[in-house]
Chain A
Amino acid sequence: MKTGDLIRALSADADFRPASPRRALRQALAPAIAIALALYFAILGVRPHLLALLGENPRLVFKLALTFLLAALSARLILRLARPGADTRAVALLLALAPALLVAADLVESLTVPAAEWGRQLIGHNAVSCLASIPLLAAAPLVAALLALRHGAPEHPALAGAGAGLFAGAVGAALYATHCPDDSPFFVTAWYGLAIAFVAAVGALVGARLLRW
């Protein structure tokens, strides 16, 4: 088969139009979020008086806002990573905002909370639950994001997989944040950070194989 022949076959296949990564992500995410929500309500459930607490607890507001910001920005990042030749630097820089904000919050916390309390804030009451729940809630969104990225053409499969893990971890963290009563930025940095990093590492490992094209 000569190249001209191949081109003839390719243009005969022009009617077949695969879904863009964005549409694929949207489609895959709907059932994945449903699964995560079902797990959430089955195992964890909403923290009592969540809405009332929002008005009086800035730490809670920050925790929720940060996880939602991370989810939104990492979704943008993976859609960029899925497109060859697309500029990812701007989104990656924007994404660095999330850890920067968290470090800033840690600083504020260290100034407002007495040093003797730091250890208690860091360990909290739910470290183990946090480490287990976030990856569990993130599992279905991770599968969805990886499947959607298969519609894309990531130049760096492991990186795109890590991005998918970051996104899924952030979705899991955002859900978990509405359950867990530990609101200190110290707790969020240590345990949310660890849990999300774990999901990102899994994403990178799977992505390195699954996202090759």
Chain B
Amino acid sequence: MLMRAAMAGDAACYQQLLRSLAPTLRAAARRGLAHAGMAETDAEDVVQEILLAVHLKRQTWEKTAPFSPWLWAIARHKIIDALRRRGRRVDLPIEDFAESLKQDEAEPNMLVSDVNRHLDELPPGQRNVVRIVAVDGASIDEAAGRLAMTKGAVRVALHRGLAALAVKFRMADA
């Protein structure tokens, strides 16, 4: 199981796991939005919010527990939260997600996304680190070199930046 290896600190496995989750989460988010009669163009924002939650809350998954109920509980929570923020109150049946597992969808090209908006609002230190690591694909070492920071400071700024992004998602349009 990829999640087990990922939790043991294998970053490559972790990245592979998140990449394999993205299409099914995208399908679930689209379905959730469509279910509520809302534009599916927001789906990618919801996917990113779910991935952030999966990352920041992965300590709540226990190695002995099955992975998919945990994942879908998080996805469901985030989709409902996103719909509520957009002014809908909905109760999503869990079966919808199980079905969407079979679909496979590609990431759309977005010009303006929530995550970019939220990223712009981060303190400059966190913003630069998150950008260099995420968009430029720099490793922690490279980011430390380019920003003239210690590796520890880069790690802390990256983690704080990601946690702050999750908060901004949650607080948006509230």
Contact = CB atoms under 8 A, between A and B. Distances in A.
A135 interface: no
Interface string B1-20: 00000110111101100110
Contact of A152 (B60, B137, B166): B60
B79 interface: no
Contacts, number: 124
A19 B53 CA distance: 15
A49 interface: no
B57 A153 contact: yes
A6 B21 CA distance: 13
Given A2-B107, A21-B60, A85-B70, A7 B133 contact: no
Interface string A130-145: 0000000000000000
Size class of the B contact interface (CB-based, 8 Å):
35 or more
A4 interface: yes
- Most chain B CB within a 10 A radius of its CB, from A3, A15, A21, A152: A3
Given A20-B62, A153-B53, A213-B56, 20 more contacts: A1-B131, A1-B134, A1-B135, A2-B107, A3-B47, A6-B115, A9-B134, A12-B140, A13-B159, A14-B6, A14-B9, A14-B14, A20-B59, A20-B60, A83-B62, A84-B57, A84-B70, A85-B65, A85-B71, A85-B72
12 contacts: A1-B115, A3-B48, A4-B19, A7-B18, A12-B140, A14-B9, A15-B155, A17-B59, A84-B69, A151-B59, A153-B57, A213-B166
Interface of B: 6-7, 9-12, 14-15, 18-19, 22, 26, 44, 47-48, 51-53, 55-57, 59-62, 65, 69-74, 77, 107, 110, 113, 115-116, 119, 130-131, 133-135, 137, 139-140, 155, 158-159, 162, 166, 170
A23 to B, nearest CB: 9
A10 interface: yes
